[in-house]
Structure 1
Amino acid sequence: MLGLLNLSRFSAGIIAVLVGYTSSAAIIFQAAAAAGATPEQISSWLWALGLGMGITCIGLSLKYRAPILTAWSTPGAALLVTSLEGVSMNEAIGVFIFCSVLITLSALTGWFDKLMRFIPTSLATAMLAGVLFQFGLNMFSALEDQLLLVGVMLTTYLLMKQLLPRYVIPLTLAAGLVLSGFQGTMHFENMSWQITTPVLMMPEFSLQSLIGVGIPLFIVSMTSQYMPGLAVLRANGYQTPASPLIGWTGFTGAILAPFGGFSINLAAITAAICASKEADADPQKRYFASIWAGVFYCLTGIFGATVAAAFDAFPTALIVAIAGLALLGTIGNSLAASLGDESEREEALLTFMVTASGLTILGVGSAFWGVVLGLTVHQLKRLTR
């Protein structure tokens, strides 16, 4: 319990949740609306996702003493926005259960561990750098629109990195919040606190929806969440076995799917915040940051849409800036690790570029295609040698 009483771990946990909700909560609302969800059902979605992420963050981090962060699949939610049109809510629930069961089976059979051993570390870290790279770019795009706010946060970061590196992120966030308060850009007037009541929605299983939505959702979750999520852990020195993490998150997702929990996966982007040096200089104590994130996730589930509205009250530029700055170190470390081996530099660079491009082919995101191209080049080089 004393390990929780630490400012850098606390701030890393709350920033991870802040970034997760503000960057993609709107997509969750759109996905639920595509299935014809009522306001009560949308709140239930947030209840299931919040509790599912909170319980798995706390449980897995305590079990393995590693900063294991879970999240919904943002690419998966984006897929649902376009795929659930014409699909009933009951059929959508059937899709969620089907996808989570597939994830659980992939852990029980152990094939994902074999896949991770097959992919060179340089390609995995290149994919991670590509996934995170856009957050760094977005920060400087926000600088153009909100020069004062982002400029103050960037200046604070650069100064505190030299003076108080352990607390650089919480101090940078505090500077942004104070300035936003003076500017009057935080709006909490429409908030009203209320506890969410979960809604049980019975599943229906349609072959068309299972194939057309369920399988793409499974592929997107595995390639855009679990692969980079494990890459975050490996890049920061954590060798936690993959199968238990995948199995427990898949099982939790299957249990909460009838309440709207469409996916409980390993986090990719926000996990880098809790696994970084900014969370704690001691790698063995960074798991406390993930526990804090789990606590905040549980609170967001209990209060559902109310907390989502609170996160929405912060200026977009503030969230974009703090996300980019919090991930700066991880982006640099991932690029260095991916390009360090000259014999694998070409395939790693291609993996990074394709992943960072954000392209989508056949409904599957760029992280998957980046790894596919990188592996293809890697195998071709081995054959020619």
Structure 2
Amino acid sequence: MNFLKDLSLQSTFMGLLVAFVGFASSFVVVLQGIRAVGASEEQAATALMILSIAMGLCAIVLSLYSKLPISVAWSTPGAALLASTSTVPGGFSVAAGSFILCAILFVIAGLWKPLGKAVNKIPGALANAMLAGILLGLCLAPVKAIAEKPLFGLCILLTWIIAGRINKLLAVPAALMALILIMIFGVDFTAASKTELFSNIVPSFTMVYPEFSLAGLIGITIPLFIVTMASQNVPGIAVLKIHDYTPSSGPLIAFTGVFSGISALFGGHAVNLAAITAAMCASEDAHPDPTKRYWSAVISGVGYIVFGLLSGLVTTFAVIAPSILIAAVAGLALISAFSNAALAAFNDPDSREASAVTFLITASGVTFFGISGAFWGLLAGGLILYITHVFSLKKK
């Protein structure tokens, strides 16, 4: 129990802030994604709860074991991918089966180096173009909210802008608070809505019996795996290295894959290493002594577990609230990720055309043979990049 001596008030505060920012800034995206692939309200509430508890437990175990500030999160880009995907044939059971296969890929990628190297060989420009295409539709939601509900939409947007100028990390939580205030003072709750809101604070466990299909493997598993690895796990490792920590990346990714598999049994899509909140836990703000910063990740894990146990209340609130306003908050939460992905996608002139094709096909939202546009976009962009490379070699 000597590690308790490393606990400090500063690390505790940072851990609680990380949990609040990590949960509040993206739970609406997760709910939208899980519902989009066929989950009922009960299944969505259970998935949100298990995901939050899983990433909390994963952060606690990894951080205490390694004494490194290992921040864990759910895959927000992966949830955005799901939100842009229509329900696959077979419904949510096939989606859950696809999540399990994705978790298995995480474990293999962590333990079997050839797969990890293969993922790293996917051109970063194309991976970012796919992510930007996935996020585009969601990032348009704030504009649509202003068009549909001008007063409420503008209040949320202005709150996000002003809070972001003060502290970027508080921008999305502030927008969420604006939505809550709008719901309290601007929307009339019926007696039935109030009863429903407070009677479902803790959701019941709803198991999902997974089914497996080729369409689910290609349309959900592979894009979810690539997006999560490229935009969450790899940057998460990089953030730790920037702060002079040297974790063994393979076992960490494999361990998150185990927790992803557990959450998939209840409809959760993916648990992974965090990037943004990892920077918070690993910074000097968490503790002056780098060897004691791991407690910030541990406390954040405790916070995630608490939020997970209250996910029934959160999910019911999301059902009662106007869907366009929920989508607006989700869109604001993803603008930063969209801008970063778009910049990385189109930065290199040599791959710009291929990235544009990947981006446009992914953003179109079309499906062929039940397989989402994200896969086809990546495939088309890769083909153009390959042909361009072949012709350039012939010219030489």
Q: Is the 8 A contact 2:34 2:83 kept in 1?
A: no
The CA distance in 1 between the partners of 2:317 and 2:268, in whole Å, is: 22
1:54 to 56, 69, 76: 56
Structure 2: gaps of 5 or more residues: 1-7, 287-292
Give the partner amino acid of 2:24: I
* Superposed displacement of residue 300, structure 1: 5.2
Q: Partner of 1:327: helix, strand, or coil?
A: helix
Number of the residue aligned with 1:175:
178
Is the alpha carbon distance of 1:290 and 1:314 closer, same or farther for their aligned partners in structure 2, counting shifts above 3 Å?
farther
Alpha-carbon spacing, 1:348–1:300, altered in 2? closer, same or farther (3 Å): same
Is structure 2 residue 152 aligned with structure 1 residue 144?
no
Q: CA deviation at 1:180?
A: 3.2
In the alignment, what sits opposite 2:345?
338
Q: 1:122 to 1:98 in 2, by over 3 A?
A: closer
In 2, distance between residues paired with 1:44 and 1:10?
Answer: 19
- Within a 5 Å distance, the mapping from 1:284-299 to structure 2 comes to 294-295=301-302, 297-299=304-306
State the 1:255 CA deviation.
Answer: 4.3
SS of match in other structure, 1:190: helix
Matched with 2:73 is 69
**Paired residue for 2:195?**
189
Q: 1:17 to 1:238 in 2, by over 3 A?
A: farther
Aligned to 2:289: none
In percent, how many aligned pairs have the same letter? 25
- 1:114 corresponds, among 114, 117, 137, to 117
Paired with 1:158 and 1:108, the residues of 2 have a C-alpha distance of 43
Partner of 1:382: 389
2:117 partner amino acid: K
Deviates more, 1:16-25 or 1:70-79: 70-79
Which of 334, 338, 353 is residue 327 of structure 1 equivalent to? 334
Deviation at 1:151, TM superposition (A): 0.8
Are the structure 2 counterparts of residues 45 and 353 from structure 1 closer, same or farther at C-alpha, using a change threshold of 3 Å?
Answer: closer
Q: How does 1:120-135 map to 2 (within 5 A)?
A: 120-135=123-138
Q: Return the offset for 1:46.
A: 5.7
Displacement of 1:137: 0.9
Q: Which residue of structure 1 lines up, in the alignment, with residue 266 of structure 2?
A: 260
Q: Number of residues paired by the alignment?
A: 364
SS at match of 1:19: helix
- Give unpaired runs (5+ residues) of structure 1: 34-38
Moved more, 41-50 or 300-309: 41-50
RMSD: 4.5
Match in the other structure for 2:290: none
Alpha-carbon separation, structure 1, partners of 2:373 and 2:332: 23
CA distance in 1, matches of 2:336, 2:378: 22
Distance in 2 between residues matched to 1:18 and 1:105, nearest whole Å = 28
Q: How does 1:1-385 map to 2 (within 5 A)?
A: 2-6=10-14, 9=18, 11-27=20-36, 30-31=38-39, 48-59=50-61, 65=69, 67-71=71-75, 74=79, 82-84=88-90, 100-162=103-165, 165=168, 167-184=170-187, 187-191=193-197, 192-193=199-200, 195=202, 198=205, 209-212=211-214, 215-216=217-218, 218-230=221-233, 233=236, 243-255=250-262, 260-261=266-267, 263-266=269-272, 274=277, 294-295=301-302, 297-299=304-306, 301-303=308-310, 305-385=312-392
Aligned equivalents of 1:248 and 1:147: distance in 2?
A: 45
Amino acid at match of 2:326: I
Return the TM-score normalized by structure 1. 0.72
> Kindly tell me: are residues 95 and 197 of structure 1, through their superposed partners in 2, closer, same or farther at Cα, counting changes over 3 Å?
same
Give how far 1:31 is off. Answer: 3.8
Is the 1:188–1:313 Cα contact (8 Å) retained in structure 2? no
Task: Letter of the 2:389 partner, please give it.
Answer: R
